[in-house]
């Protein structure tokens, strides 16, 4: 019975990356890593927050969301942001299938919140990721 | 790390190399996904590598004269070779002056730096005299100065200190620089050869960004001025080649020295203006200038020294005096062709001679000879398929002619040149895919301008073996006879004739009437078929057709060359083209021969004509 409840082997790590924080492992002082869902989430965040032309020699990489923040905050503008994000992830992040991109505006506080629902290949659980874009000054 | 060849210099290839390397580990698996942090790090690493590679590549390139791409680097390397890249050069023009003045002296003074204003198109240029001179008395009221050479540019005088001797204008004509220290003139020298510690000399060197500076000796190789000395540098700021070809000129000060009027007549338009020496030219001449060390020993030395000093020289041929007939041992024969003229003027040759005087070995005497020309009369029959081009015959003829003229400028015209029949045919053949056949006939000819009614015995050397015909038999007539040498029409004893050879080395004068063509005079000269030398003896004519008698030669080979002082030249006016569309082209129309019958093969766009079996 116990063998049914306890996995015989650890789940195999498919995706792995360096964490944003460059944190060191307290055990061996080696660089830690983020894996699987966290790795994909981190990658999506990187892509969404990258402007086009920001990465050297890859001028098409990025969502341009920051540039679009200067457009009028109306449904048409939000639709453009949605399309940018969907197109970007479809091409540059093949590990995830985007289910939905929701954009809610918080005009009073000069913020918009982008919520992304997606699934990851080989992982059944639906993932959700939110980011709030705020004016710097 | 796997072996990665150091061959990739661009960002994408470098990143690809890093990705290949990371495939060998599995700790960080997301390296190939553009959103991953690993990928961001790879971008930074690739860019850094790319940047360093580029920087090192450029830095190493600029370290050598041969590979440097910046003019400043080339100037710096040239300085190590004691080579000063030439500056802008002012154009010079020749004018006549007629001065009306009531002064009693027989000479009217024209001071140094007298200014003139000239027009060239829409632009106006200043010209100056570079030395003081005099106009001689013409009559009671007028003075005249003929052939006064004036130089384009504005005259500037700078007050310098020993700490800063860089001239303020990059457009300086360095040949015009004059230096005076406390009013005492200093002499320009190119090298330290023979310069003593008290000699009043100055040197010129190139600086970055096209500027020039002067410098003095250190009391070892020339006198060094003191810090407090008054150093004045006078020079001409030039407009370079823009001032070539002025059309009108007037003196700026019409009342110079109390003159009531000065009339200026342009005798020779301005020539010789040129720009800064180009990067390519510096790279070419700096090592060679170092190699010849300002001395003319080999024939290349003569050519390089003269071309470097006188950029107006377009082509030059140097050969030993022992190679000419009769031999002149101990001499070097130089033939020079300057741009925009045929040959070089006597004044230019005098300058070349003077320049070479202290650069040649004591026992070697340079001799300048005017170049002689061998022109080419070219006839090409061109057939083309009208379905494969939108050009009509006339358009095709003009464009091919222009192409041939450009080709001649680059590859044929010049000393020691070769006319290659195959290359001309190939050029025309490849010009348009519609061209189906080319038939070229090229005949070299020499122009002879005899003095009318004065006997002369000139000699013409074609320098190529001639196609010797069979001996001429008078009873068989001229109709099928193809001589090795023939000429255009001239008048002999009051009758229009041409000359031709008889296959036995003799030249005949024959009447031009067809079919009653006959020999008017025998033995008017000789032909050497092996050497291509044609000699006329006591030749006298009263008139000739055109601007010269053209003597044509039928060479044994279809390609021929010019040697020694002969310049081969294909003039645009001598290119004759017959361009015509073909009525039936088997090859172009898509017919292939299969067995003994001709079968049509599909060839889209071709002009297919119906050919019967066995045609």
The ipTM assigned to this model is 0.84
Looking at the DSSP bridge assignments, the partners of residue B510 are B498, B519
Q: What is the pLDDT of residues B415-456, one digit of tens each?
A: 888 888 899 999 898 888 888 889 999 999 999 988 888 888
Residues 6+ away with beta carbon under 8 Å from B62? B68, B69, B70, B73
**Contacts with B36 from chain A: Cβ below 8 Å:** 17-18, 39, 42-43, 46
- A8 Cα to chain B: minimum distance (Å): 22
* Between B476 and B296, the higher pLDDT residue: B296
Query: CA end-to-end span of chain B, whole Å?
Result: 72
- Residue B597: pLDDT band (50, 70, 90) is very low
Looking at the DSSP bridge assignments, the partners of residue B591 are B600
Q: Which of A13, A17, A94 sits opposite B38 (nearest CB)?
A: A17
> Rounded to whole angstroms, how far apart are CA atoms B321 and B533?
19
Looking at the DSSP bridge assignments, the partners of residue B382 are B438, B579
- A1 Cα to chain B: minimum distance (Å): 34
> Rounded to whole angstroms, how far apart are CA atoms B145 and B135?
4
Q: Indicate the burial class of B259 (C-beta count within 10 angstroms; 0-12, 13-18, 19 or more).
A: buried
- A2 Cα to chain B: minimum distance (Å): 31
**Contacts with B12 from chain A: Cβ below 8 Å:** 57
Q: Which stretches of chain B sit within 8 Å of chain A by CB? A: 11-12, 27-30, 33-38, 40-41, 43, 46-47
- A70 Cα to chain B: minimum distance (Å): 24
**Contacts with A20 from chain B: Cβ below 8 Å:** 37
Q: What is the pLDDT of residues A23-36, one digit of tens each?
A: 898 888 888 888 88
Element (H, E) at B333: strand B331-338
> Rounded to whole angstroms, how far apart are CA atoms B431 and B428?
5
Say whether B40 and A14 touch across the interface (CB within 8 A).
Answer: no
Say whether A19 and B27 touch across the interface (CB within 8 A).
Answer: no
Say whether B34 and A56 touch across the interface (CB within 8 A).
Answer: no
Q: What is the pLDDT of residues B220-246, one digit of tens each?
A: 889 999 999 999 999 999 999 999 989
**Contacts with B35 from chain A: Cβ below 8 Å:** 42-44, 46-47, 92-93
Q: What is the mean pLDDT of chain B?
A: 85
Q: Name the token pair of A43.
A: 């990658």
Please report the pLDDT score of residue B171 as a whole number.
Answer: 94
- B70 Cα to chain A: minimum distance (Å): 26
Q: Is the pLDDT of residue B331 over 90?
A: no
- Residue B411: pLDDT band (50, 70, 90) is confident
| Pick from B195-209, B212-226, B403-417: least confident | B403-417
* Between B517 and B213, the higher pLDDT residue: B213
| DSSP 8-state code for residue B164 | B
Q: What is the pLDDT of residues B275-286, one digit of tens each?
A: 999 999 899 888
Say whether B34 and A20 touch across the interface (CB within 8 A).
Answer: no
Q: Buried b / exposed e across A36-57, counting CB within 10 Å, b at 16+?
A: beebbbbbbebbbebebeebbe
Q: Please report, for residues B104, B143, B263, the alpha-carbon distance to residue B139 in angstroms, rounded to integers and kept in the order given.
A: 11, 7, 15
Q: Which of A33, A55, A93 sits opposite B33 (nearest CB)?
A: A93
Q: Please report, for residues A61, B43, B46, B53, B385, the alpha-carbon distance to residue B40 in angstroms, rounded to integers and kept in the order given.
A: 12, 5, 10, 20, 60
- B307 Cα to chain A: minimum distance (Å): 47
Say whether B36 and A92 touch across the interface (CB within 8 A).
Answer: no
Say whether A46 and B29 touch across the interface (CB within 8 A).
Answer: no
Please report the pLDDT score of residue B252 as a whole number.
Answer: 86
Say whether A39 and B30 touch across the interface (CB within 8 A).
Answer: yes
Say whether B11 and A19 touch across the interface (CB within 8 A).
Answer: no
């Amino acid at each position: 019975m116990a063998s049914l409840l306890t996995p015989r082997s650890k789940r195999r790590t498919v995706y792995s990356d360096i964490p944003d924080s460059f944190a060191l492992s307290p055990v061996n002082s080696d660089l830690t890593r983020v894996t699987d869902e966290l790795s994909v989430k981190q990658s999506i965040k990187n892509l969404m927050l990258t402007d086009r032309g920001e990465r050297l020699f890859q001028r098409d990489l990025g969502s341009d969301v920051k540039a679009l923040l200067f457009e009028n905050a109306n449904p048409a503008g939000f639709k453009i942001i949605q399309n940018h994000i969907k197109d970007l992830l479809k091409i540059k992040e093949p590990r995830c299938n985007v289910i939905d991109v929701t954009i809610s505006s918080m005009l009073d506080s000069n913020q918009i919140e982008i919520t992304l629902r997606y699934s990851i290949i080989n992982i059944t659980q639906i993932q959700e990721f939110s980011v709030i874009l705020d004016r710097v000054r | 790390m796997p072996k990665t060849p150091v061959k990739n210099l661009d960002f994408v290839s470098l990143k690809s190399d890093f990705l290949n390397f990371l495939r060998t580990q599995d700790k960080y698996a997301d390296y190939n996904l553009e959103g991953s942090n690993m990928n961001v790090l790879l971008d930074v690493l690739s860019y850094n590598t790319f940047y360093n590679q580029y920087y090192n590549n450029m830095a190493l390139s600029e370290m050598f004269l041969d590979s440097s791409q910046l003019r400043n680097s080339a100037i710096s390397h040239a300085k190590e070779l004691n080579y000063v890249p030439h500056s802008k050069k002012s154009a010079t023009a020749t004018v006549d002056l007629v001065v009306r003045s009531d002064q009693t002296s027989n000479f009217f003074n024209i001071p140094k730096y007298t200014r003139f204003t000239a027009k060239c198109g829409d632009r106006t240029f200043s010209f100056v005299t570079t030395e003081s001179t005099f106009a001689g008395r013409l009559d009671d009221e007028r003075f005249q100065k003929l052939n006064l050479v004036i130089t384009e540019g504005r005259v500037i005088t700078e007050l310098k200190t020993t700490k800063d001797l860089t001239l303020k204008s990059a457009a300086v004509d360095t040949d015009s620089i004059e230096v005076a220290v406390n009013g005492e003139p200093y002499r320009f020298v190119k090298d330290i050869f023979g310069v003593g510690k008290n000699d009043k000399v100055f040197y010129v060197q190139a600086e970055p960004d096209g500027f020039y500076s002067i410098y003095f000796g250190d009391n070892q190789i020339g006198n060094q001025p003191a810090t407090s000395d008054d150093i004045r540098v006078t020079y001409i700021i030039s407009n370079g080649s823009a001032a070539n070809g002025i059309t009108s000129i007037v003196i700026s000060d019409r009342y110079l020295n109390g003159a009531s009027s000065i009339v200026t007549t342009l005798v020779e338009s301005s020539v010789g203006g040129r720009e800064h020496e180009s990067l390519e030219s510096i790279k070419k001449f700096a090592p060679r200038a170092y190699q010849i060390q300002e001395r003319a020993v080999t024939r290349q030395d003569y050519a390089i020294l003269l071309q470097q000093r006188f950029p107006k020289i377009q082509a030059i041929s140097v050969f030993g005096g022992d190679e000419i007939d009769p031999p002149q041992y101990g001499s070097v024969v130089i033939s020079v062709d300057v741009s925009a003229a045929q040959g070089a003027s006597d004044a230019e040759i005098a300058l070349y001679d003077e320049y070479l005087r202290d650069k040649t070995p004591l026992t070697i005497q340079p001799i300048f000879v005017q170049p002689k020309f061998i022109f080419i009369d070219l006839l090409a029959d061109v057939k083309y398929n009208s379905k494969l081009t939108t050009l009509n015959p006339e358009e095709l003829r003009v464009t091919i002619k222009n192409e041939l003229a450009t080709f001649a400028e680059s590859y044929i015209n010049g000393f020691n040149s070769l006319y290659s029949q195959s290359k001309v045919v190939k050029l025309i053949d490849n010009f348009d895919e519609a061209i189906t056949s080319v038939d070229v006939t090229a005949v070299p000819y020499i122009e002879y301008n005899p003095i009318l009614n004065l006997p002369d015995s000139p000699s013409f050397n074609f320098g190529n073996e001639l196609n010797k015909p069979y001996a001429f038999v008078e009873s068989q007539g001229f109709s099928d006879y193809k001589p090795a040498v023939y000429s255009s029409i001239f008048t002999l004893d009051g009758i229009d004739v041409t000359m031709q050879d008889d296959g036995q080395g003799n030249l005949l004068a024959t009447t031009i009437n067809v079919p009653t063509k006959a020999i008017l005079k025998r033995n008017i000269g000789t032909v050497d078929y092996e050497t291509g030398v044609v000699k006329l003896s006591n030749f006298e004519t009263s008139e000739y057709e055109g601007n010269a008698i053209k003597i044509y030669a039928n060479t044994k080979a279809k390609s021929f060359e010019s040697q020694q002082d002969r310049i081969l030249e294909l003039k645009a006016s001598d290119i004759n083209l017959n361009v015509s569309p073909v009525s039936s082209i088997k090859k172009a129309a898509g017919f292939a021969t299969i067995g003994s019958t001709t079968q049509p093969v599909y060839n889209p766009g071709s002009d297919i004509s119906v050919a019967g079996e066995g045609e």
